[in-house]
C-alpha cells in the first residue's frame, strides 16, 4: 500500500496530451531507420536455407570483389571477439559458427556502399552445407534419437532475471525447466467433486513492430557506439561489452524513438552483428532488416499444455495441475524467464490450495523465441481461463460468479512466497461484466464471457535516475527508459512536475543513452511507470531536499525554518520559487541541482513481484455457423492500475494489448511446415485491421491506489492481452456449444468443430 493516498492532483491522473505528439504527427520524430552517419556503409545478411546443417565452407571472394563492397563478414572472421551473446544463456553466435540451427539464421553479412550493392553481392557468396536432421517441435526435440542443437555447456547469465539455474547445455535439447508445487495435488484430485482436463495449444506468434529491427554501429578505438531500436539499451550494452571485451564505459547504446516493441525488441538482436560489421569495415554500418527478416529473428514461444483443474462440492477450486512444453526455437534468448513466468502464471489470480505445475522448454530448429507482451502469460491463460469456464459449466455455476468466488482477494497471500495480491479482482470483473451486459438476453449464435489475468510482473527493481532542476526552474529528467509508444516521455514528466510543483511544459526528458542517462535495467514487463516513475518521484523529492538546504543558506536561516510549498519554499513572509533558490545560491541566473534516486530490491520493492498485473476483459462474439467466422460484437477492458498517471495512455495500453490478444485468438499464427516457416511475410501473416475492430468497445480503469509505484500506481499494458484467446474460446463455447482448445480460432477450426459436433449428434 502506498503510504499517502493523495487525491488532489494537479498534473498526474490527468490525460495530458502526449509529449511526443507534434513530432509524431508531423513526421519529424526520428527513429534509427531515419539515421545516417557520415561515411556510413550498409549491411545485408545472407541467411541459411537449411534448418540444421554443418557449414563446410564459405567462399566470399567473389562477393568481396564486387564493386562497392567493403567487406564480407562470416563466422570465420570473428577472431578477436567473443562472438556468443545471450543474457540468460550465452548460446547465440552473432553469425552462424560451424553450423546453422534454423532456416533463416544469419550466415554472412555484406558491407557495401549502399543497401542495393550489399544485397546484390549476397548471391556471390558460396556456402557449402552438409544438412543435418532437424527437430521442429518439443516432441521431436525430446525424442531419444533427436540430434542435439547445442553441444556446448553454458553458464547461467548473471542478468537472466530469475534466481533459479539454467537447464540449457546439459547434453539434451532442454533449454529450461521450471516447477512450482504446494499442497497435495494427487489427494485433492481424488477428493474433488468435479474435474476438467484437457490439452491446449497456443501458437507461435510474431509481434510485428512496424519498425523492423535496425541498428547503426560505429566501432573505433574510442569504443563501441550503437544506435538501436532496442527496448533495453543497458542489457544490450552488457552483451556488447562481453563481445568486444570492453569496460562498460566504452560501450554506448543510444535509442531514439522506437517504432513499436511489445517485447519483441527486448534484449539483444541485430546489434552484435552490426557492430562486427563496423569492426571489420572500419566505418559506421547500418543494418536495417526487412519485415521478412524480422520474422526470422524473434517470435513468441508456442506452448503445448496439458492441464486439469478441480473444484469441491461448494464450487471452490481446490487443485490445478499442468505440464507445459514450450518450443523455444534455436536460441534461448529470454525464453528461460518466459518459462519461469508461464509456470507461475498457470495459477492465474486464484487462491488454489493444491498446485503442481511443471514446465519444460526445448530447443528446436526454428526461429528463436523470446519475450512477447505478457511473457508466457497468454500461453497459459488460454488453458487456465478456459478451464475456469469449463469447470463452472460442469458444476452448473455462472462463470462470472465462479471467478468471483475463487479470485485472490486484496492483500491475500495466495501465491506462496510472493507479494500479497495488490489488485481488486471483484471490481475488475464487475466492471467488465457490466460493460458487456452480463445477464441480459443474447441473440442466438452470440456468446458473452469475462476473463481475468493476474500475473507476477517480471519487472525487476534495479533503476536509477537523475532529475536536474535548472536555474530558470525548468527540469530535465535523465532516464534510461525507452519511449516505445507507451508514453514514458509523457508520464515521467507528469510525475516530476507533480512532485516539484512546476508546469508540465517545463519538464523535458533525455532518454536511453547509456553514456549519459543513469542505469535502468529495461523497458518492459510493464515496469516503467512503477519503477522509473518511483525513481523520478524520489529524485524530484531529493532535489527538493537539496534546494531546502540551499534556501536556508541563501536566507541565512536554519534548515528547519524552511517550509516547502508548491513549486518552492517559504520562510516567514518570504517565498522563493526553485528558480530563485538556485539563482540566489549560485549568485547567477544559471546552474542546477541534481536530484538522484537508486531503486533496488529493498524496502517497498523487496517483495516480488513488484506488483501483480491485473486486468479483466469482457467480450461478446457471434459465430456464423455456416463459415465458422467469429465477429467481435463487444470488447471491454478493465485495467487494475492502482492510479493512472495518464488515464488516456493507460487505456490506450489496454486496448492495444487486447487487440493483439484478439488477433491471436482469431487468426494470428506462424506456421511451420517441416523445416520452413510457411507464412513468414506480412502478406501471409494475418494481423488485426480496422475491419476487425469490435463493433462496441469500452475501456475502463480501476484506480484504488494500491500499487507501490508513484501515488499508488502500478503497471499495465500486458494483462489485457493475456485473457483474450481464452475469452474468445469460452465465448464460442457459449455461443455455439463447441470447446476449442487451440488458438487461433480460425473460421476453419470453428467450422470443423461445429461439423464434428453435428456428426456426433447425428450418430
Partner 1 sequence: MKLSIQLNGKPWQVDCEAQETLAEVLRNTLNLNGTKVSCEVQVCGACTVLIDGAPVSACTYLAYEARGKSVTTIEGLEKPDGTLHPLQQAFIDEFAFQCGYCTPGMIMSAKALLDENPKPTRDEIIHHMDGNICRCTGYVPIVAAIQRAAEVIAKESKK
Binding site for partner 1 (CB under 8 A): 15, 17-18, 20-31, 33-34, 116, 207-212, 257-262, 290-291, 484-487, 648-649, 652, 655-656, 658-660, 681-683, 687-691, 693, 697, 699
Nearest distance from C-beta of residue 432 to partner 1, angstroms: 16
Q: Which is nearer to partner 1, 4 or 690 (CB)?
A: 690
The minimum distance between CB 748 and partner 1, in angstroms, equals 22
Helix, strand or coil for residue 362? strand
Nearer residue to partner 1 within complex by CB, 10 or 696: 696
- Cα(548)–Cα(582) distance, rounded to whole angstroms? 10
Task: Let me know the angle formed at the C-alpha of 463 by 459 and 465, rounded to the nearest 5 degrees.
Answer: 140
Smallest Cα–Cα separation from 324: which of 298, 349, 302, 306?
306
Q: How far is residue 235's CA from residue 254's CA, in Å, rounded to a whole number?
A: 12
3-state helix, strand, coil in the chain (%, to 5): 30, 25, 40
* Residue closer to partner 1, measured from CB, 57 or 691: 691
**Shortest gap between Cβ of 739 and partner 1 (angstroms)?**
27
Q: How far is the CB of 181 from partner 1 (least distance, A)?
A: 38
**Residues, the chain, total?**
763
Alpha-carbon distance values, 678 to 16, 51, 100, 585 (Å)? 44, 13, 19, 67
Q: What is the 3-state secondary structure (H, E, C) of 298-353?
A: CEECEEEEEEEEEECCCCCEEEEEEEEEEEEECCCCCHHHHHHHHHHHCCCCECCC
Q: For residues 346 and 721, which CB has a smaller minimum distance to partner 1 in the complex?
A: 721
Contact 90, 238 (CB under 8 A): no
Rounded to a whole number of angstroms, the minimum distance from the CB of residue 682 to partner 1 is 4
| Segment 680-689 long-range contacts (CB within 8 Å, at least 24 positions apart) | 680/104, 680/292, 680/295, 680/296, 681/291, 681/292, 681/295, 682/208, 682/291, 685/206, 685/208, 685/295, 687/208, 687/663, 688/659, 688/660, 688/662, 688/663
Q: How far is the CB of 605 from partner 1 (least distance, A)?
A: 27
For residues 571 and 465, give the distance between their C-alpha atoms in angstroms, rounded to a whole number.
Answer: 30
CB 320 → partner 1: shortest distance, Å?
31
Q: Nearer Cβ to partner 1, position 581 or 636?
A: 636
d(CA 703, CA 458): 21
Beta bridge partners of 464: 598
Give me the residue label for grid cell 556446448: 152
Minimal distance, residue 16 CB to partner 1, in Å: 10
Per DSSP, 738 falls in state -
d(CA 508, CA 477): 6
Distance of closest approach, residue 135 Cβ to partner 1, in angstroms: 31
Residues 189, 422: Cα–Cα separation, whole Å: 29
Q: Largest Cα–Cα distance of the chain, in whole Å?
A: 95
Strand order in the sheet with 696-702: 446-456, 612-623, 630-640, 696-702
Q: How far is the CB of 436 from partner 1 (least distance, A)?
A: 16
Instruction: Give 243 or 258: the residue with its C-beta nearer to partner 1.
Output: 258
Q: Which CB sits closer to partner 1, 274 or 637? A: 637
Q: How far is the CB of 689 from partner 1 (least distance, A)?
A: 5
Minimum Å gap between C-beta 633 and partner 1 is 15
CA dist., res. 535 & res. 542, Å (int): 10
Beta carbons of 634 and 620 less than 8 angstroms apart: yes
Which residue is it, cell 529495461?
A: 522
In the complex, the smallest distance separating the C-beta of residue 14 from partner 1, rounded to whole angstroms, is 13
Residue 222's alpha-carbon distances to 80, 318, 757, in angstroms, are 17, 61, 68
Beta-carbon contacts of 33 under 8 Å, excluding residues fewer than 6 positions away, are: 211, 214, 229, 259, 288
Q: How far is the CB of 113 from partner 1 (least distance, A)?
A: 13
Closer CB to partner 1, 81 or 648, in the complex: 648
Q: Shortest Cβ distance from residue 693 to partner 1 (Å)? A: 5
The minimum distance between CB 214 and partner 1, in angstroms, equals 11
- Candidates 342, 596, 602; CA nearest to 461 is 602
Instruction: Using DSSP bridges, classify how beta strands 92-93 and 84-85 pair: parallel, antiparallel or unpaired.
Output: antiparallel
Strand-pair category, 475-479 with 463-470: antiparallel
Q: Which is nearer to partner 1, 290 or 676 (CB)?
A: 290
CB of 270 to partner 1, least distance (A): 16
What contacts 290, CB < 8 A, 6 or more positions away? 212
The rounded distance, in Å, linking the Cα atoms of 410 and 426 is 9
| Contact partners, residue 118, CB within 8 Å, separation at least 6 | 42, 43, 44, 69, 110, 111, 112
* Residue among 173 and 205 whose Cβ is closer to partner 1: 205
Quote the CA–CA distance of 579 and 601 in Å, as a whole number.
35
Amino acid at each position: 500500500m502506498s503510504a499517502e493516498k493523495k487525491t488532489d492532483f494537479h498534473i498526474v491522473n490527468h490525460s495530458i496530451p502526449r509529449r511526443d505528439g507534434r513530432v509524431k504527427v508531423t513526421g519529424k520524430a526520428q527513429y534509427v531507420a531515419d539515421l545516417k552517419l557520415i561515411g556510413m556503409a550498409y549491411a545485408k545478411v545472407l541467411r541459411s536455407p537449411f534448418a540444421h546443417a554443418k557449414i563446410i565452407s564459405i567462399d566470399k571472394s567473389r562477393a568481396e570483389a564486387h564493386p562497392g563492397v567493403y567487406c564480407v563478414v562470416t563466422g570465420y572472421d570473428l577472431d578477436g571477439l567473443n562472438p556468443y551473446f545471450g543474457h540468460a544463456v550465452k548460446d547465440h553466435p552473432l553469425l552462424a559458427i560451424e553450423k546453422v540451427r534454423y532456416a533463416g539464421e544469419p550466415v554472412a553479412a555484406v558491407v557495401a556502399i549502399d543497401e542495393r550493392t550489399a544485397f546484390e553481392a549476397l548471391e556471390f557468396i558460396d556456402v557449402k552445407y552438409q544438412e543435418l536432421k532437424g527437430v521442429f517441435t518439443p516432441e521431436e526435440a525430446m525424442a531419444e534419437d533427436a540430434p542435439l542443437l547445442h553441444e556446448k555447456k553454458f553458464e547461467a547469465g548473471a542478468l537472466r532475471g530469475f534466481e533459479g539455474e539454467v537447464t540449457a547445455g546439459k547434453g539434451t535439447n532442454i533449454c529450461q525447466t521450471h516447477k512450482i508445487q504446494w499442497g497435495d495435488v494427487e489427494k485433492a484430485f481424488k477428493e474433488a467433486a468435479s474435474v476438467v482436463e484437457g490439452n491446449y495449444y497456443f501458437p507461435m506468434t510474431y509481434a510485428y513492430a512496424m519498425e523492423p529491427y535496425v541498428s547503426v554501429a560505429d566501432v573505433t578505438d574510442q569504443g563501441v557506439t550503437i544506435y538501436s531500436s532496442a527496448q533495453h539499451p543497458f542489457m544490450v550494452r552488457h552483451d556488447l561489452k562481453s563481445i568486444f571485451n570492453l569496460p562498460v564505459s566504452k560501450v554506448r547504446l543510444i535509442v531514439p524513438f522506437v517504432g513499436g516493441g511489445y517485447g519483441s525488441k527486448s534484449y539483444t538482436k541485430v546489434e552484435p552483428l552490426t557492430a562486427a560489421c563496423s569492426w571489420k569495415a572500419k566505418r559506421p554500418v547500418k543494418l536495417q532488416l526487412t519485415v521478412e527478416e524480422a520474422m526470422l529473428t524473434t517470435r513468441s514461444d508456442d506452448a503445448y499444455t496439458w492441464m486439469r483443474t478441480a473444484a469441491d462440492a461448494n464450487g471452490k477450486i481446490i487443485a490445478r495441475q499442468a505440464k507445459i512444453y514450450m518450443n523455444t526455437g534455436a536460441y534461448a534468448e529470454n525464453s528461460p524467464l518466459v518459462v519461469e513466468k508461464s509456470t507461475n502464471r498457470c495459477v492465474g489470480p486464484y487462491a488454489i490450495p493444491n498446485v503442481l505445475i511443471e514446465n519444460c522448454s526445448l530447443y528446436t530448429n526454428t526461429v528463436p523465441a523470446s519475450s512477447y507482451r505478457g511473457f508466457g502469460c497468454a500461453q497459459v491463460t488460454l488453458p487456465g481461463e478456459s478451464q475456469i469456464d469449463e469447470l463452472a459449466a460442469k458444476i452448473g455455476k455462472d462463470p462470472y460468479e465462479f471467478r468471483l468466488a475463487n479470485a485472490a482477494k486484496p492483500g491475500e497471500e495466495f501465491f506462496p512466497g510472493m507479494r500479497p495480491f495488490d489488485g481488486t479482482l471483484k471490481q475488475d470483473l464487475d466492471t467488465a461484466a457490466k460493460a458487456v451486459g452480463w445477464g441480459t438476453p443474447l441473440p442466438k449464435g452470440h456468446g458473452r464471457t469475462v476473463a481475468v489475468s493476474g500475473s507476477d510482473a517480471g519487472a525487476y527493481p534495479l533503476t536509477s535516475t537523475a532529475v536536474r532542476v535548472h536555474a530558470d526552474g525548468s527540469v530535465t529528467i535523465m532516464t534510461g527508459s525507452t519511449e516505445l509508444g507507451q508514453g514514458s516521455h509523457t508520464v515521467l514528466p507528469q510525475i516530476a512536475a507533480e512532485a516539484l510543483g512546476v508546469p508540465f511544459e517545463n519538464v523535458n526528458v533525455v532518454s536511453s543513452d547509456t553514456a549519459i542517462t543513469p542505469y535502468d535495467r529495461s523497458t518492459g514487463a510493464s515496469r516503467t511507470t512503477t519503477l522509473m516513475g518511483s525513481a523520478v518521484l524520489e529524485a524530484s523529492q531529493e532535489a527538493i531536499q537539496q534546494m531546502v538546504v540551499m534556501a536556508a543558506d541563501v536566507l541565512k536561516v536554519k534548515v528547519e525554518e524552511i517550509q516547502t510549498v508548491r513549486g518552492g519554499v517559504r520562510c516567514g513572509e518570504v517565498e522563493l520559487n526553485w528558480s530563485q533558490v538556485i539563482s540566489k545560491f549560485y549568485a547567477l541566473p544559471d546552474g542546477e541541482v541534481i536530484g538522484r534516486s537508486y531503486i533496488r530490491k529493498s524496502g517497498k520493492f523487496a517483495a516480488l513481484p513488484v506488483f501483480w498485473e491485473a486486468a479483466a476483459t469482457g467480450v461478446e462474439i457471434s459465430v456464423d455457423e455456416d463459415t465458422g467466422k467469429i465477429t467481435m460484437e463487444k470488447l471491454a477492458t478493465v485495467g487494475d492500475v492502482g492510479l493512472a498517471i495518464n488515464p488516456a495512455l493507460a487505456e490506450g495500453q489496454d486496448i492495444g494489448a487486447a487487440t493483439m490478444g484478439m488477433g491471436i485468438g482469431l487468426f494470428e499464427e506462424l506456421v511451420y511446415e517441416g523445416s520452413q516457416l510457411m507464412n513468414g511475410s506480412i502478406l501471409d501473416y494475418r494481423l488485426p485491421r480496422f475491419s476487425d475492430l469490435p463493433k462496441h468497445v469500452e475501456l475502463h480503469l480501476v484506480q484504488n491506489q494500491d500499487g507501490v509505484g508513484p501515488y499508488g500506481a502500478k503497471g499495465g499494458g500486458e494483462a489485457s492481452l493475456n485473457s483474450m484467446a481464452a475469452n474468445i474460446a469460452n465465448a464460442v463455447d457459449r455461443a455455439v456449444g463447441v470447446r476449442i482448445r487451440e488458438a487461433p480460432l480460425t473460421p476453419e477450426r470453428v467450422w470443423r468443430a461445429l461439423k464434428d459436433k453435428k456428426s456426433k449428434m447425428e450418430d
